[in-house]
């Protein structure tokens, strides 16, 4: 996987599999701090200390529960190669939080990729989850609140063509400033 937004999709999949009903994803880019931070938090079933310790080991995965696969170890390696880190906090019954930091300008840092596509398919394919999605690039901010959208839609499904159109435009519009860095509108 050569895009951070694909890794986010993968991590979100772990949260879904953990039975989370609230999943927060935040992507924070700071040109001043020269940092790119990805954070995913969920209220899923969580992991105990033993499982947590093994999570970044590629040869451990609880296949039946499918909590973690190859994605996390590879991402940890990629982050550390870019002067960054990958950390996971988790508590059984409470949830899991994962934070990945990259040096933003590092030559080997994976591109963020198409975050709008990742966000779009998460909210559409798992409409019942309360997705709280956010993106920040210096002083530009975008956020999406699934609960609000779901309540407004009422009984109209997310897979309705008109709703798909709304979600796609919302994500594309909100995230179009993500790259390249030089084209950020000054607010």
Q: Which is nearer to other proteins, 10 or 41 (CB)?
A: 10
Q: What is the Cβ-side half-sphere exposure of residue 64, based on CA atoms within 13 angstroms?
A: 0
Going by their DSSP bridges, the two strands 85-91 and 95-103 should be labelled as antiparallel
Q: Which is nearer to other proteins, 73 or 95 (CB)?
A: 73
Measured CA distances, 134 to 5, 83, 89, 118, 144 (Å): 13, 24, 20, 12, 6
State in angstroms the smallest separation of the CB of 5 from other proteins. Answer: 8
* φ/ψ of residue 102, rounded to 5: -120, 150
Cα 162 versus chain centre, distance = 25
State in angstroms the smallest separation of the CB of 112 from other proteins. Answer: 14
Q: Which is nearer to other proteins, 1 or 35 (CB)?
A: 1
Residues lying near other proteins in the complex (CB under 8 A): 1, 6, 9-10, 13, 16-17, 66, 69-71, 117-118, 120-121, 124-126, 148-149, 152-154, 156-157, 159-166, 168-170, 173-174
State in angstroms the smallest separation of the CB of 124 from other proteins. Answer: 6
Q: Scanning the structure block, which residue is given the tokens 């080991």?
A: 57
State in angstroms the smallest separation of the CB of 142 from other proteins. Answer: 10
State in angstroms the smallest separation of the CB of 105 from other proteins. Answer: 26
Q: Which is nearer to other proteins, 87 or 125 (CB)?
A: 125
List Cβ neighbours of 137 (8 Å cut-off, separation of 6 or more).
Answer: 29, 30, 31, 177, 178, 181, 184
Q: Which is nearer to other proteins, 16 or 184 (CB)?
A: 16
């Amino acid at each position: 996987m050569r895009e951070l937004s694909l890794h986010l999709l993968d991590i979100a999949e772990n949260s879904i599999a953990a039975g989370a009903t609230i999943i927060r994803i935040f992507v924070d880019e700071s040109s001043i701090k020269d940092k790119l931070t990805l954070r995913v938090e969920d209220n899923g079933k969580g992991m105990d200390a033993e499982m947590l310790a093994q999570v970044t080991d590629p040869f451990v995965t609880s296949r039946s529960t499918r909590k973690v696969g190859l994605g996390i170890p590879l991402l940890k390696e990629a982050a550390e190669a870019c002067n960054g880190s990958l950390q996971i906090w988790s508590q059984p019954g409470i949830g899991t939080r994962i934070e990945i930091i990259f040096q933003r300008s590092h030559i080997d840092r994976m591109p963020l990729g198409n975050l709008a596509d990742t966000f779009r398919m998460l909210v559409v394919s798992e409409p019942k989850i309360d997705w709280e999605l956010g993106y920040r690039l210096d002083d530009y901010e975008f956020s999406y609140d699934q609960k609000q959208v779901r309540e407004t839609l009422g009984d109209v499904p997310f897979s309705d063509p008109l709703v798909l159109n709304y979600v796609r435009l919302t994500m594309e519009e909100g995230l179009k400033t993500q790259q390249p860095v030089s084209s950020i509108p000054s607010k």
